[in-house]
Amino acid sequence: MKIQKFALKRPFGGYDYARQSFAINEELQLVGPGTPGGEYLRRFWHPVAFTESIKDLPIKLRILGEDLVLFRDHGGRIGLLAANCPHRGTSLEFGIIRARGIMCCYHGWQIDVDGTILDTPNEPGNSRIKETLCHAAYPVYEYQGLVFTYMGPPDAKPTFPIFEPFTLPGYRHVPWGRNILPCNWVQIKENCMDPVHTSFLHTIVSTTQFTEEFAFIPELEFVEVPNGMVYVATRRVADNVWVRMTNLIMPNIHQYGPTWESGHEPKRFVRAMQTHWAVPLDDTNTMNIGFNHYHETDPDPAVLDAGASFGQACDRPYEERQRVPGDYDAHSSIGPISPHGREHLCASDQGVAMFRRILGRAIKTVAKGEPLPKPDFGPRGEVLTYENNTIIRIPPKTGDDEADREMMRDIGRRVARAAVSRDWSNVPA
């Protein structure tokens, strides 16, 4: 979809600006049933709740523009059903959980976790309505304390993906987040491919939220990889070159290395601190939810939690958020859906533009009924991922800043190739 741009050309041009109508990109940004983007998103598993949140009452959810009810029946099975009872439409959030399925509070219809109608009390004995009718239901999968669902065509359901960080030794994986942001999922995910914001929003502007070294503006590369794309942000820290790679796994997953890294100690291929999904609730609301990955050699978990959680929700006084804004404020203040026609992308936004191209291409692939590209898999069937921190001792070229920057870009490209190929022979030790 081509977006018409408007560029204001004169000072004090508020009158001209206010009379413009700035378009959104409906193909990329809308998520409801039948929309191009919504049909693409429905080809993947998405987390919808913490396992521990499912207790003795149904939970009302809104996912991809659909109203749903999540529950665990007394037999231990989880159900995710369309919210409104197929009889008269009363919400099953007021249903009564049974040994098998859930019973509507209004007239007692009982529905199984797969949508089978189990009972229709007060119907005549010869009624066949429960044999001829099913209720809308979606499959679920429990993993490491999160509940996932697949909402696409049953015959296109993919195998549940196990990402590489979940298979690495020495880690434990703890559910994180469930932060609700009042804005479209695309503008949240674009942030993942915008490494310059880590220097400004998280360091220069809002004090040091990670480490002081994040304030160094990195040399940048953006690379397509088998599961999506990465940014390669390479910084000079004294006599070291610090390469930080963040992986955006299509369509809406983000993995990145520890935010307490300072770049002072050489190391290679240090893996993910967090995996999180930006799950669209509807066109204008998104849930960030996922896992923190705690390695046995990491600092106190409180350090990780602080770096992962600061500024991710509307949980601070407004004036404090104005003085020290976080991701929540940057994302949501753009508006409910970012109007791409209002933007003026520049050189540092190459990652944002690349994400939009990849997303648009994938949406068109689904629309044409063609298969989506497959990621690379490891020896145990895990989906390989490429996020990492790598720090190499290489003193700067004295007096030649441009030569040093070019050397850093070259090192960044070598690390990116090695992360994908797992061949580190061309990366300095």
Q: Where are the domains of the chain?
A: 48-156, 164-421
Residue 28 pLDDT exceeds 70: yes
Residue 166 pLDDT exceeds 70: yes
Q: Per-residue pLDDT averaged across 142-169, rounded? A: 97
Domain spanning 48-156: CATH superfamily: Rieske [2Fe-2S] iron-sulphur domain (2.102.10.10)
Highest mean pLDDT among 186-200, 210-224, 280-294: 280-294
Residue 272 pLDDT exceeds 90: yes
Residue 10 pLDDT exceeds 80: yes
Residue 274 — pLDDT band, cuts 50, 70, 90? very high
Q: Per-residue pLDDT averaged across 58-85, rounded? A: 98
Per-residue confidence (pLDDT) for residue 307, from 0 to 100: 63
Q: Per-residue pLDDT averaged across 244-253, rounded? A: 98
Angle (CA) 386 171 414, round 5°: 20
- Whether domain 164-421 has CATH 3.60.130.10: the reply is no
Per-residue confidence (pLDDT) for residue 1, from 0 to 100: 62
Lowest pLDDT segment from 10-14, 197-201, 269-273, 351-355: 197-201
- Cα–Cα distances (Å) from 334 to 191, 324, 330, 395, in that order, read 12, 17, 7, 41
Lowest pLDDT segment from 255-264, 270-279, 308-317: 308-317
Q: Are strands 137-138 and 59-63 parallel, antiparallel or unpaired?
A: unpaired
Among residues 57, 137, 140, the alpha carbon closest in space to that of 93 is found at: 57
Reading the block at residue 73, the tokens are 């029946």
- Cα–Cα distances (Å) from 169 to 177, 245, 295, 321, in that order, read 24, 21, 9, 38
In this predicted model, what pLDDT tens digit does every residue of 370-408 receive, in sequence order?
999 999 999 999 999 999 999 999 998 777 788 999 999
Q: Per-residue pLDDT averaged across 111-126, rounded? A: 93
Per-residue confidence (pLDDT) for residue 306, from 0 to 100: 67
Per-residue confidence (pLDDT) for residue 185, from 0 to 100: 98
Per-residue confidence (pLDDT) for residue 44, from 0 to 100: 98
Lowest pLDDT segment from 35-39, 274-278, 338-342: 338-342
Residue 156 — pLDDT band, cuts 50, 70, 90? very high
Residue 252 pLDDT exceeds 80: yes
Strand partners, 134: 116
Residue 18 — pLDDT band, cuts 50, 70, 90? confident
Residue 112 — pLDDT band, cuts 50, 70, 90? very high
Residue 281 — pLDDT band, cuts 50, 70, 90? very high
Among residues 201, 206, 247, 208, the alpha carbon closest in space to that of 224 is found at: 247
Which residue in the block uniquely carries the two structure tokens 């009390």?
Answer: 121
Average pLDDT, rounded, for the chain: 93
Q: Per-residue pLDDT averaged across 138-152, rounded? A: 98
Per-residue confidence (pLDDT) for residue 19, from 0 to 100: 79
